Amino acid sequence: MTHQLTLELRDEVFQPLTEAARQAGQSLEQWAVAQLRSCAASSARHRADLGRLLAHAGAVDLGRPTGAGNESIDADLAREYGSSHEASR
C-alpha cells in the first residue's frame, strides 16, 4: 500500500533539500523518502534502546532507602571522604 504526501515548503527549506538530493544523485522525491525511512528507523531503534535501558531501572538494591535530599547526599559524601578504602586495594 502506498500513500501520497503533499508538502508546501518555503524556498529557504526547499532549496537546501533540492541541493542535498542533487548531491546524492537522486530526485527530490527519492531523497525525501530515503530520509523519512531513515528517520523512522532511527526512531524505532531509539524506542527499543530506551526500553532495554528502562528494563534495568530499579535493578540495584543498596539494602537501604536512598533519596535525593541534601542530608542523604551529604551523609554519603562524608562517609566516603572519611573512608580510607584500604579494603578495596
Residues 43-61 have pLDDT tens digits of: 989 999 999 988 888 777 7
- Whether residue 22 contacts residue 15, with contact meaning beta carbons closer than 8 Å, is answered with no
Does pLDDT of 89 surpass 60? no
Taking the alpha carbons at both ends of the chain, their separation in whole angstroms is: 64
- Whether residue 34 contacts residue 28, with contact meaning beta carbons closer than 8 Å, is answered with no
What is the pTM assigned to this prediction? Answer: 0.53
- Whether residue 21 contacts residue 31, with contact meaning beta carbons closer than 8 Å, is answered with yes
Mind listing the pLDDT tens digit for each residue in 6-55?
A: 999 999 999 999 999 999 999 999 999 999 999 988 998 999 999 998 88
Mind listing the pLDDT tens digit for each residue in 62-74?
A: 777 766 667 877 8
CA angle 42, 44, 46 (to 5 degrees): 70
